[in-house]
């Protein structure tokens, strides 16, 4: 049971271990890795016909701008796995912009590529390989012109991969969309900033390279390059929001979905000076700070020396260790994200879960982390900690963990509402949801915990827990909403509960549960409090 809790915690948020420096595991998929993260062979059982042709199922090949790609058709739906979208970011290409990769012989896209270097789920070892810039495609139909949905995973910009079973796109493609999932560089390898480095935010650059590759190859994938939706959860949702704020949609995507990923009011994004100070600390930690060429020294080190040089911070928001997150550099990420959000017209669908903060309770109960109320609030809020503690007095909760969980939960919900209000006040289309369905696992009812909407969006499973029969209608409903939004920018249609566009007057939103409904006043007084904190 402890491992299940660890999987859930690390899968959707990321965290820190009591062990500051994990033991080394140089394998791509270490022994401690979850079973659904290993390379998966999806070859169809059907064999080629004697004349080399194929029936409804079997091998299928497409031509991309990178070269020919061979995948498999299963149950009438084609799957291409592990397609490289850029050159491996190794050697001189470590901390360099993603570069095009070309091949001439057919690329075998029938198994997943490696995850990017990262700590494993329990932070006891390091797994992954730098040669990880790959993407996966579900739903190809020759000659089709389907909307394309491009997914970026969560994991605090530190963990996760597009190989995870939760993100497999077969079920979502039944709603007549092409689904693309992709890896991007994580941790220090993706978000190091240093005065000697010409550039930063390499993980975000990878994501934009994915979108460029999709745009160039949408027709070959059976998709419409003029109808692309970027979507993601947690860190992936924050990335989608930042892409909108940065104005990066032109020629790349038309709409954005952010699940539990508000890009303001939750995650502190450093400016260049703060990020480079952390980069200096990393260089010193690996004895490269006095080198004649600091970058060459860093590029010459084994990947694991870089990955865990400064330890890891729980959920990025509080805890000891480094936080490798996007940097506000006014190149890819605006200095003032909120101002930028008010000017970017890209339609957005976004939301949060009712019990986001219970993830901290799970992690503490499983012995993965220790949470002290006073320390955590000081780390999260600095000089504003007293204001937060007055709103969330320790005496009002059973223990330190419950108090911090309440703060985190409201921070997710209210940060999401804040972005929705910024967008709506500027006259831009935004659709807000609140997911309230409880996620029941072998370790108990976790409520609508962070990440628990994922199996409903993809129709898959989370930490080996599959949807129950009575939950399938909610999954199908959410897939209809998500795919309709991808088609038109409006989730509504058919006989489904009408989803009102968000308005600041009443906080109009949809409540997603087995009995969906519309509502207003989303934690209004609490979120008004947080708006005041963020405005101060």
Name the residues annotated as catalytic.
234, 356, 450
- 163 CB-side CA count, 13 A: 26
Measured between alpha carbons, how far is residue 484 from residues 402, 427, 471 in Å? 38, 21, 20
Q: Give the whole-angstrom CA distance, residue 452 versus residue 243.
A: 24
Tokens at 263, concatenated: 């890009």
What residues form DSSP beta bridges with 241? none
Q: Is 50 helix (H, G, I), strand (E, B) or coil?
A: coil
Q: Give the whole-angstrom CA distance, residue 401 versus residue 417.
A: 24
Question: What's the sign of the alpha-carbon dihedral 141, 145, 147, 150?
Answer: positive
Environment class of 269 (CB within 10 Å of its CB; exposed 0-12, middle 13-18, buried 19+): buried
Who's near 335: CB < 8 A, 6+ residues apart?
A: 271, 328, 329
Q: Is 18 helix (H, G, I), strand (E, B) or coil?
A: coil
Which of 442, 440, 414, 431 shows the shortest CA–CA distance to 512? 431
Do residues 521 and 507 lie in contact, with contact meaning Cβ atoms separated by under 8 Å?
yes
Helix (H) or strand (E) holding 425: helix 400-425
Q: Give the whole-angstrom CA distance, residue 147 versus residue 335.
A: 32
* DSSP symbol at 429: -
Which of 503, 489, 496 shows the shortest CA–CA distance to 474? 496
Helix (H) or strand (E) holding 224: strand 223-233
Do residues 47 and 101 lie in contact, with contact meaning Cβ atoms separated by under 8 Å?
no
Do residues 491 and 499 lie in contact, with contact meaning Cβ atoms separated by under 8 Å?
yes
Tokens at 295, concatenated: 């970058």
Q: Give the whole-angstrom CA distance, residue 221 versus residue 414.
A: 38
- b/e sequence 129-147, b meaning 16+ C-beta within 10 Å: bbebbbbbbbbbbeeeebb
Which of 500, 498, 516 shows the shortest CA–CA distance to 453? 516
Which of 346, 523, 503, 505 shows the shortest CA–CA distance to 434? 523
Q: Give the whole-angstrom CA distance, residue 95 versus residue 298.
A: 10
- 315 CB-side CA count, 13 A: 32
Which of left, alpha, beta for 260 (phi over 0: left; psi -120 to 50: alpha)?
left
Tokens at 444, concatenated: 């108990």
Do residues 411 and 316 lie in contact, with contact meaning Cβ atoms separated by under 8 Å?
no
């Amino acid at each position: 049971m402890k491992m299940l809790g660890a999987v859930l915690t690390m899968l959707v948020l990321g965290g820190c271990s009591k062990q500051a420096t994990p033991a080394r595991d140089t394998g791509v998929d270490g022994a401690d890795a979850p079973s659904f993260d290993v390379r998966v062979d999806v070859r169809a059982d059907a064999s080629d016909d004697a004349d080399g042709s194929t029936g409804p199922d079997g091998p299928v090949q497409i031509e991309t701008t990178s070269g020919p790609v061979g995948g498999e058709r299963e149950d009438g739906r084609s799957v291409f796995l592990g397609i490289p979208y850029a050159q491996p970011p190794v050697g001189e290409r470590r901390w360099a912009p993603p570069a095009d990769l070309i091949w001439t012989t057919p690329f075998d896209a029938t198994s997943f590529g490696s995850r990017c270097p990262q700590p494993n789920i329990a932070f006891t070892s390091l797994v992954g390989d730098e040669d990880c810039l790959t993407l996966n495609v579900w739903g190809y139909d020759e000659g089709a012109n389907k909307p394309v949905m491009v997914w970026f995973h969560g994991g605090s910009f530190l963990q996760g991969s597009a190989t995870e079973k939760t993100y497999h796109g077969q079920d979502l493609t039944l709603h007549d969309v092409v689904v693309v999932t992709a890896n991007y560089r994580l941790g220090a390898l993706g978000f190091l900033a240093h005065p000697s480095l010409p550039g930063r935010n390499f993980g975000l650059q990878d994501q934009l390279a994915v979108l460029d590759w999709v745009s160039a190859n949408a027709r070959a994938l059976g998709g419409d390059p003029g109808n692309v939706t970027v979507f993601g959860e947690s860190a992936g949702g924050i990335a989608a929001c930042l892409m909108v704020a940065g104005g990066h949609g032109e020629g790349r995507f038309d709409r954005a979905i952010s699940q539990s990923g508000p890009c303001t009011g939750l995650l502190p994004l450093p400016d260049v000076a703060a990020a480079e100070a952390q980069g200096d600390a990393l260089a010193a930690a690996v004895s490269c700070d006095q080198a004649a060429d600091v970058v060459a020294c860093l590029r010459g080190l084994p990947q694991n020396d870089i990955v865990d040089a400064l330890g890891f911070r729980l959920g990025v928001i509080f805890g000891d260790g480094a936080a490798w997150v996007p940097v506000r550099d006014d190149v890819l990420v605006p200095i003032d994200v909120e101002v930028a959000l008010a000017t970017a017209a890209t339609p957005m669908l976004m939301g949060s879960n009712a019990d986001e903060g219970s993830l901290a309770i799970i992690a503490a109960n499983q012995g993965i982390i220790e949470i002290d109320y006073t320390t955590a609030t000081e780390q999260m809020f600095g000089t504003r900690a007293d204001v937060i503690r007055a709103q969330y007095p320790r005496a009002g909760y059973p223990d330190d963990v419950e108090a911090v969980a309440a703060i985190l939960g409201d921070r997710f919900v209210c940060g999401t509402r804040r972005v929705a209000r910024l967008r709506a006040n500027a006259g831009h289309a935004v659709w807000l949801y609140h997911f309230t369905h409880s996620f029941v696992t072998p370790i108990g009812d976790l409520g609508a915990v962070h990440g628990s909407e994922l199996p409903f969006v993809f129709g898959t499973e989370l930490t080996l827990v599959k949807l129950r029969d009575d939950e399938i209608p909610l999954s199908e409903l959410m897939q209809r909403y998500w795919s309709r939004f991808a088609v038109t920018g409006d989730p509504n249609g058919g006989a489904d509960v009408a989803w009102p566009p968000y308005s600041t007057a009443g906080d109009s939103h949809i409540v997603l549960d087995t009995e969906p409904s519309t509502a207003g006043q989303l934690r209004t007084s609490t979120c008004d409090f947080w708006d005041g904190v963020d405005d101060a």
